[in-house]
Structure 1
Amino acid sequence: MGTMIPILMYHQVGVPAPKGTPFRGLTVAVKDFQRQMTWLSRLGYKGVSMADLMPYLSGEKRGKVVGITFDDGYCNVLEHAAPILNRLGFTSTNYFVADQLGGSNVWDHGIGVPPSPLMTADQIRKWAAAGQEVGSHTLDHPHLPLLGDEQALHQMRQSKAVLESIVDREVSAFCYPYGDESMRLRQLAREAGYANATTTARGLAKPTDDVFGLPRVTVARSTHIVRFLQKCLTRLEERKGGRG
């Protein structure tokens, strides 16, 4: 089967919203995140960003790696996850919504998800200065399949340009909001100048996968450590949709 690499998908790391709140489970407790990263390190795995992961996926590099990604660019990831990653020498990719920097998850407010602050431009620079990767999650987190090609391409290209101007380095990683993607959108992501793109399809990334449609492994609040390690270390995960 060859190389199979888990790409973990996180959203928030911190204190969850009140019980009954939609998508409350996408906030992982700090102690749980620390336990997960510590166990990966103990077992000889290195957490890597998408940029660092690609040579392993292509076979140019060999080693025990796990991709680590965060969707949306929440402040609590900088506050709680970054110090843990830095301490272990891990890298990761955070996908930022370029028109909501310093704002909040407005795309979720209508379904009852409480506001949670997103990183400002200065905080994104701190994230990048710590060796973590800046990726794009579009300008304002739309459902891309509902947009025409020009609008979708604008969302991809312009968000890339905004983020590159902030960190003064190339932004090569893209993530489809809500996991909404298609062969058309994959082609547009390629045209926009990205090197890879992740989805919310469940599974381990394989060398034969389209690098503009890479699956991920969702890590939720309820994912206890044994299940977490099973997700990371088992060779097959069923492919289903998730949230992005």
Structure 2
Amino acid sequence: MTLEHALIRGLGNVIAPGGRQGRLAVLMYHRVLAQADPIHDFGTPVATFDAQMAALAGAFNVLPLAEAVERMHAGDLPPRAVAITFDDGYRDNVDVACPILRRHGLTATFFIATAMLDGGIMFHDAVSEVIRRCPSDHIDLAWLGLGTLKLDAPGSRCAAIERIARAIKPVAPAQRAEITRKLADSAGIALPTDLMMTEDHVRQLVASGMEIGGHTHDHPILTSIGDDEVREQILINRRRLESITGRTLTLFAYPNGKPNQDYTARHAAIVRECGYRAAVNTAYGSGGTETDLMQIPRVAPWEMSTRGFMLRLAAVGQRTRRLHTSAA
């Protein structure tokens, strides 16, 4: 154990103790990038991820999420309790992240959208790939209500990606898929088919000791579709993942995950009705005995410095308690 790890452990013991006062910090990742990508930064560089996992192994108590949730609910967490999660089902989770996790003796939960398995693509990745590969210095998107967007520099391409993604994110999955296909066709771009996992990759994760969780079939914003479709999205996803893994799924992650914006208490009730024991969102914070098991907050580990990562993670429980107190 390094001196820095020892100091963080001491700090964490004070502000993130165990037992009834214990706090659970759930980390949320998406991609782990083998190489930096100036156009699409929706991921953690591999060196940063490796350093963060080393810090977790040295200074925190990392639990499988299913165990962590049960212990949080029972008031039996260890000090400095952490769980690691990944959303969506990217292939680099298997190729890059999983070997690092195993090397550090850690486990994680992978929330997978099943429509993306075996050659699918997330809508924002489709947008990014089209804009990245477009040979022109502009693109006419009047048909999308965005006019003509400049693509004459990396910065303008990043801005174009953001504008397009923001415009189509709220729409239903079928319409979103139609828009991204039209976007690719208009630019003459063939979308990649190897960004996401295959069924065999999911099985590899299970064989490596990792947990699998539900994330809907098409990754819709739940507030953008009706309740019957929400239920169908959840059940199709759960049944397919259980068929692939041979295990009963107990954990779920809301797509996008902002409370009262991307999902509501009504959707949380549907998730429970569909057989899930617990669900995570993207609200910042930590969980404790008072936390609704269907709305467990998470922490996005955006810090590039390992020290900043550890300090923020150690302090997240204390900040959450203050927020709860001020809201009461």
Shared fold (TM-score greater than 0.5)? yes
2:87 is the counterpart of 1:4: no
2:277 is the counterpart of 1:199: no
Identity, % of aligned positions? 31
Which residue of 64, 67, 82 maps to 1:66?
A: 82
Query: Do the aligned residues in 2 keep the contact of 1:157 with 1:193 (CA within 8 Å)?
Result: no
Q: Secondary structure at the match of 1:125?
A: helix
Letter in 2 for 1:208: E
2:312 is matched with: 231
Letter in 1 for 2:209: G
CA distance in 2 between counterparts of 1:211 and 1:166 reads 26
Query: Do the aligned residues in 1 keep the contact of 2:68 with 2:77 (CA within 8 Å)?
Result: no
Q: Secondary structure at the match of 1:198?
A: strand
Q: Secondary structure at the match of 2:204?
A: helix
Query: Do the aligned residues in 2 keep the contact of 1:181 with 1:199 (CA within 8 Å)?
Result: no
Deviation at 1:205?
1.3
CA distance in 1 between counterparts of 2:58 and 2:298 reads 22
1:157 is matched with: 235
TM-score by length of 2: 0.67
What pairs up with 1:84-99 in 2 under 5 angstroms?
A: 84-99=100-115
1:242 is matched with: none
Q: Mean alpha-carbon deviation: is it higher for 158-167 or for 48-57?
A: 48-57
Runs of 4+ in 1 over 4 A off after TM superposition: 113-116
Query: Do the aligned residues in 2 keep the contact of 1:102 with 1:117 (CA within 8 Å)?
Result: no
What pairs up with 1:4-83 in 2 under 5 angstroms?
A: 4-15=23-34, 18-21=37-40, 24=41, 26-43=42-59, 45-59=60-74, 61-64=76-79, 65-83=81-99
1:183 is matched with: 265
Deviation at 1:145?
0.6
TM-score by length of 1: 0.88
Between structure 1 and structure 2, the one with the greater Rg is 2
Deviation at 1:200?
0.6
Computed over aligned residues only, the root mean square deviation of the Cα atoms, in angstroms, reads 2.1
Aligned length: 234
2:202 is the counterpart of 1:119: no
CA distance in 2 between counterparts of 1:110 and 1:83 reads 27
What pairs up with 1:100-119 in 2 under 5 angstroms?
A: 100-109=116-125, 111-112=127-128, 117-119=195-197
Distance 1:170 1:210, change over 3 A: same
Q: Secondary structure at the match of 1:233?
A: helix
CA distance in 2 between counterparts of 1:117 and 1:131 reads 22
Distance 1:107 1:38, change over 3 A: same
Distance 1:225 1:178, change over 3 A: same
Deviations 1:121-168 (A, max 9, x none): 011000011110011110011111111111001111110000000000
Deviations 1:174-210 (A, max 9, x none): 1111112210010000001011111110011122111
CA distance in 2 between counterparts of 1:108 and 1:39 reads 31
1:130 is matched with: 208
Contiguous gaps of at least 5 residues in structure 1: 240-244
Letter in 2 for 1:218: A
Deviation at 1:79?
1.3
Deviation at 1:103?
2.5
Deviation at 1:38?
0.9
Distance 1:17 1:178, change over 3 A: farther
CA distance in 1 between counterparts of 2:125 and 2:58 reads 39
